[in-house]
C-alpha cells in the first residue's frame, strides 16, 4: 500500500510538471508574438494594421492543424450562424437585381412583407428614404439594408405597375429551412430533401414524417445530396427517429476527456419500421455521413449514390475576446462499426480540397471499381455482418455513376454567368399573371408547361453577348436537360422550392435507383442477405 501511494504521488507530480512545462512554453511563445507585433507596429515602413495581422496569423496557425479548424471574425460568425440557427431578422422577401432595379421575386408566407401587402413583381425604389435604383446595388448591399434588429421598422417604397406605394415593414424572424422538399413520390414512398443539419432540422423532419405518414407513407427516401452537414446533434436526433432503442449512433474520441462521448438511440422514434434509403454524393459530408454511417452500420437503411466527402472530425467553437470565434477540431468521430471515415489531409489544405477532382480524374465518379480507400481495414455491419470500409467517406451500397451522357460544358458556362437564372426570372416577372391564369395548379403546370424555343434563343443570344460562344452541337445534346432545368426553375419561382424538386426529380438518377431498389427486391437482398 505504501509503494502504491508513492507511485500515485509520483504520477501526479509528473503530470503537474508536464502541465506546468506546457503552460510555460505557451507563455513564452505568446510573449514572442506580442514582441513581434510591437516591433512591426513601431518600425515597419508602412502603417501596420495590427488587427489584420493578428487575424492572418491565427488563420495560418489553424490551417497548419487540419482543414476544418478555422477562424471567424465577428461579422463572419453572424453570417455563418444564420443558416444553422434557423433564421435572421428581416422583411421576408426573395429578390433579384435586374438592370440596376431591385425586384421582389417572392414574398415569404406569413412573413412581415406579406402581412403589409408587398407582392412579387414589385420594384423597390427606396429603402429608408435612400434611392436604390441605378446605383450598382449588390445582393450584399440589399441584405445589409433590409436585415436588422427584431421589431425595428424599415420604410420601403415600391413601383407597382406605375403606382408608387410606401410600406412600413416591421422586421421579424425570417426562417431558413433545412428541408427543401417533402412529398409522396409514390403512394407508399415519401421523399425528404434535406439541405443542412440546423437548429430547426429535427422539428421540420418530424413534421414532414408525420404528414407523409398521414398520406400513407410506408418507405422513406432521404436525399442528402450536396448536404455538407451542420449540427452533429441534429444528425443524431434524426438517426434516433429511424433506429430501434439502445443502438449506438456515433462516438467521438478526443485528447480532452470532454470531447469523448457515445450517443445512443432511444425508444421514441417516429419511423423505426419502414424501409429507408439515403441518397448521397461526393459533396455529402460531416453530419450527413453520421446519419448515413449509422443506418448503414445497423443494416437499417440502403445508401445509394457515390462515395461521400469523408469528414470525420468534430469542431467546437471557442469565442475570443473581441467576438470572433475559433472553431477548433477537438475529436474524431466513429460510426457504430468503429469506422473513422475522415479522408487524409496530410498533403495540406489545398490538396485536401482538390481531392474531389482527383476522384473525377481517377474515374471513381463513373465506376465503383475505381474507388480506392486509404484504410483497407474491413469493418462489419452490426446485424448482417456485411463488410464496410472507413478511411475516406461512406461507400454506397448501390453505386450510381455521374451522368456524362451529354456535354454540359456549354450549359454550365451559361449557368456560371447567371444567364439561365436571369432569363427565367425575366420570363416569370414579365408573364407572371398569364402563367398563373394558364396554370392555376402545379399539377396542370407539370403536365402542360413546355419551355419555348423563344426562351432558348434568348438564352443563347444572351450567352453570346457575355462571351459564351454559340455551339449548336453541344446545345442539341444538352437541350433536353436544359429544358428540364428551366421548367423546374419556373416552377420554383411560381410556387416554391418543393415544386422545383418535383420537376427536377423526374430525372434524378439516384432517386430512380432508390425507387428501383425498393420495387425489385434489391433492398432486402443487400440489407437482409436474402431475396
Query: Which positions are annotated as active-site residues?
Result: 286, 297, 311
How many angstroms separate the CA atoms of 442 and 420, rounded? 21
Closest of 523, 514, 493, 480 to residue 120, by C-alpha: 493
Place of cell 437482409: 528
CB-count exposure of residue 288 (10 Å: 0-12, 13-18, 19+)? buried
The CA-based dihedral angle spanning residues 513, 516, 517, 518, taken in that order and rounded to the nearest 10 degrees:
130
How many angstroms separate the CA atoms of 23 and 297, rounded? 42
How many angstroms separate the CA atoms of 480 and 190, rounded? 27
How many angstroms separate the CA atoms of 314 and 332, rounded? 6
How many residues are present in the chain? 531
- Residue 204 near residue 188 (C-beta atoms within 8 A): no
Task: Tell me whether strands 301-305 and 276-280 are parallel, antiparallel or unpaired.
Answer: parallel
- Residue 99 near residue 81 (C-beta atoms within 8 A): no
Residue 48 CB neighbours (<10 A):
15
Q: Could you tell me which residues come within 8 angstroms of residue 118 by beta carbon, excluding any fewer than 6 positions away?
A: 91, 93, 104, 107, 156, 158, 167, 169
What is the number of alpha carbons within 13 Å of residue 498 lying toward its C-beta? Answer: 14
Residue 164 CB neighbours (<10 A):
11
Please name every residue paired with 252 in a beta bridge, in sequence order, or none if there are none. 261, 333
Calculate the alpha carbon distances from 356 to 119, 239, 282, 510 in Å.
42, 27, 7, 19
Amino acid at each position: 500500500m505504501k509503494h502504491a501511494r508513492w507511485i500515485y504521488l509520483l504520477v501526479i507530480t509528473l503530470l503537474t510538471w508536464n502541465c506546468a512545462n506546457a503552460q510555460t512554453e505557451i507563455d513564452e511563445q505568446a510573449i514572442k508574438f506580442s514582441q513581434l507585433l510591437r516591433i512591426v507596429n513601431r518600425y515597419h515602413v508602412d502603417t501596420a494594421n495590427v488587427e489584420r495581422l493578428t487575424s492572418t496569423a491565427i488563420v495560418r496557425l489553424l490551417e497548419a492543424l487540419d482543414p476544418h479548424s478555422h477562424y471567424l471574425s465577428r461579422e463572419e460568425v453572424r453570417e455563418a450562424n444564420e443558416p444553422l440557427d434557423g433564421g435572421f431578422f428581416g422583411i421576408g422577401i426573395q429578390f433579384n437585381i435586374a438592370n440596376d432595379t431591385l425586384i421582389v421575386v417572392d414574398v415569404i408566407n406569413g412573413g412581415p412583407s406579406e402581412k403589409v401587402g408587398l407582392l412579387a413583381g414589385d420594384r423597390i425604389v427606396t429603402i429608408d428614404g435612400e434611392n436604390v435604383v441605378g446605383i450598382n446595388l449588390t445582393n450584399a448591399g440589399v441584405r445589409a439594408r433590409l436585415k436588422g434588429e427584431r421589431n425595428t421598422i424599415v420604410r420601403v417604397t415600391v413601383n407597382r405597375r406605375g403606382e408608387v406605394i410606401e410600406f412600413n415593414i416591421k422586421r421579424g424572424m425570417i426562417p431558413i429551412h433545412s428541408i427543401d422538399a417533402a412529398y409522396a413520390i409514390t403512394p407508399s414512398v415519401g421523399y425528404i430533401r434535406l439541405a443542412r443539419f440546423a437548429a430547426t432540422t429535427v422539428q421540420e423532419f418530424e413534421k414532414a414524417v408525420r404528414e407523409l405518414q398521414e398520406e400513407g407513407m410506408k418507405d422513406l427516401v432521404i436525399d442528402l445530396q450536396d448536404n455538407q452537414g451542420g449540427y452533429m446533434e441534429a444528425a443524431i436526433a434524426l438517426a434516433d427517429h429511424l433506429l430501434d432503442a439502445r443502438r449506438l449512433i456515433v462516438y467521438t474520441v478526443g485528447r480532452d476527456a470532454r470531447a469523448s462521448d457515445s450517443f445512443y438511440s432511444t425508444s421514441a422514434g417516429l419511423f423505426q419500421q419502414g424501409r429507408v434509403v439515403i441518397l448521397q454524393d461526393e459533396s455529402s459530408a460531416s453530419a450527413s455521413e453520421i446519419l448515413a454511417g449509422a443506418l448503414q452500420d445497423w443494416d437499417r437503411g440502403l445508401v445509394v449514390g457515390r462515395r461521400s466527402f469523408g469528414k470525420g472530425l468534430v469542431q467546437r467553437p471557442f469565442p475570443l475576446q473581441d467576438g470572433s470565434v475559433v472553431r477548433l477540431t477537438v475529436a474524431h468521430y466513429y460510426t457504430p462499426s468503429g469506422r473513422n471515415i475522415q479522408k487524409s489531409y496530410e498533403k495540406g489544405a489545398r490538396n485536401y480540397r482538390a481531392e474531389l477532382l482527383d476522384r473525377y480524374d481517377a474515374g471513381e465518379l463513373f465506376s465503383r471499381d475505381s474507388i480506392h480507400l486509404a484504410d483497407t481495414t474491413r469493418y462489419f455491419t452490426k446485424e448482417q455482418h456485411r463488410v464496410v470500409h472507413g478511411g475516406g467517406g461512406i461507400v454506397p451500397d448501390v453505386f450510381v455513376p455521374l451522368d456524362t451522357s451529354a456535354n454540359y460544358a456549354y450549359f454550365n458556362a451559361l449557368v456560371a454567368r447567371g444567364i439561365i437564372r436571369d432569363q427565367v426570372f425575366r420570363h416569370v416577372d414579365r408573364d407572371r399573371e398569364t402563367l398563373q391564369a394558364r396554370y392555376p395548379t402545379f399539377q396542370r403546370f407539370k403536365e402542360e408547361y413546355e419551355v419555348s424555343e423563344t426562351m432558348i434563343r434568348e438564352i443563347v443570344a444572351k450567352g453570346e453577348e457575355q462571351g459564351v460562344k454559340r455551339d449548336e452541337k453541344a446545345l442539341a445534346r444538352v437541350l433536353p436537360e436544359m429544358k428540364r432545368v428551366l421548367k423546374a426553375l419556373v416552377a420554383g419561382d411560381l410556387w416554391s422550392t418543393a415544386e422545383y424538386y418535383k420537376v427536377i426529380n423526374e430525372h434524378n438518377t439516384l432517386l430512380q435507383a432508390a425507387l428501383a431498389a425498393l420495387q425489385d427486391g434489391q433492398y432486402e437482398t443487400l440489407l437482409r442477405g436474402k431475396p
